[in-house]
A and B are shown apart, each in its own frame.
Chain A
Amino acid sequence: MNAPAAPLLQVRNLRVEFPTRRGTLLAVDDVSFDIAPGEVLGVVGESGAGKSLTGNAIIGLLEPPGRIAAGQVLLEGERIDNLPYERMRRIRGAKIGAIFQDPLTSLNPLYTVGRQIVETIQTHLPLSAQAARERALDLLKQVGIPAAEQRIDHYPHQFSGGMRQRVVIALALCAGPRLIVADEPTTALDVSIQAQIIALLKRLCREHGTAVMLVTHDMGVIAETADRVAVMYAGRIAEIGPVRDVIKSAAHPYTRGLMGSIPSMGVRSARLVQIDGAMPRLTEIPRGCAFNARCTEAGERCFRERPELMAAGATRAACWRHDTGGVGAVRTKEAAHA
């Protein structure tokens, strides 16, 4: 897919490191992608694949000692990864909104939701207290809070989990950001509410023309919501492409494994596929392709050289199977360990 001429967000060769006593951990390694205005990019992967860290790096809230070691993040063509704290703060909330995993703990328990929304609005927009409150009320209605006039003066503990996540979405939207980084926005919610929240997020972002980076480990959510999807594995992007193509004809063996693990209502007899083994620890990423130990199609080359993203049908995948050179002589797992 050709990105439009002016992508909203560009991530270029992003590298996030964690200095530890036993050496530097490379948590995000050479990750590049674009998000177009109004586009929903799903970022999927197992725990520890680096997807949340990528999101945090974009909004400039990596928790120390984690740091951006290399690469660039550009918003509307301007670098934002090296801004001073105070300038980045003005971008957060105003141009990039964020939603985190747990709506139960994202709101300050001691203030009414109205106060928290008004406070955020007034931080970024030159509105009077009265106008900000009206805007807050309007936002609460938009995110579907019933009886918003009363609820605006309620405290977070008086809302259910789903309602709180709606408030969090209102907070993320309240200064009209161009991009929302949503980090597992539905993981902590009941399954019945997850779909509502995802639908709400999708609808609001379409109405406001807001782009979304949707970080999740739930392939189902991605399939429903995203325009494009990036599959992350061990800190790198394994495959990226339009969501239909990635689901229908995944080019990376890992992506295929992920797709195989989604239960399907139609195919009753098929057993769910599971990927053997676990993602390598960040300290023990093997030479060559990080997935080589779990891959059923790995060849000799996969243990020697690291594949970069390359064209693979409709998507781009980091797999030697799509290189003219191929994977080389097939090696079994036993041979690899010998």
Chain B
Amino acid sequence: MSLIKAEGITKQYLLGNQTVDALRGISFDINQGEFIAIMGPSGSGKSTLMNIIGCLDTPTQGKYFLNQQEVSTFKGDELAKIRNKEIGFVFQTFHLLARNTALDNVMLPLKYAGFDKAKQMKRAKSVLLQVGLESRMEHQPSELSGGQQQRVAIARALVNKPSILFADEPTGNLDSQTGNEVIKLFKDLHDQGQTIILITHENEIASIAQRTIFIKDGLIESDTQNK
């Protein structure tokens, strides 16, 4: 069984009184443990697709299954629960809470999952250890380098053991060296069996993935296995 199954997904927006077709029928399967890059020029519908796969939004038409659940019929808080349990987000701009320490940031998904404080701490600390930030746990984002901030964000994405790690241009705000470090971290996570979906426009970064899906004009232009 596949982890993700998308069947004929379309998405229409209303811009003023004009209907815009952002996605025009997209279907694919993603299996457990895959490392996938989604590419495409801006305006291709890449972000819209990401929102739908990430359960931040629902398709206008089509079916989207995640772990055999038909998520496309879910609403509001049901989607929030799926995001909390199944998906770990890593954003280009890190999106850390500025007034909280690294540890507090990483604990946040567990708080929304309803774990007790002791368990939140224990898990968050072990994930921060995994990303090599055990010595920076009590620091606020402003006291961390860009690379460190992104590793906090990755720790936060991993802390609730999601089915999918979802990264949207994770190296976009980093210099090439720290970018490479982050990419290496993704590779390591993949080697440990983590399913990863990476959205990027850089071929170099996409090339580390096993498979690349290229989106153009709201349709899949190509879906290729990398060597």
- Bound pair (A, B): no
Q: A residues bordering B, Cβ < 8 Å?
A: none
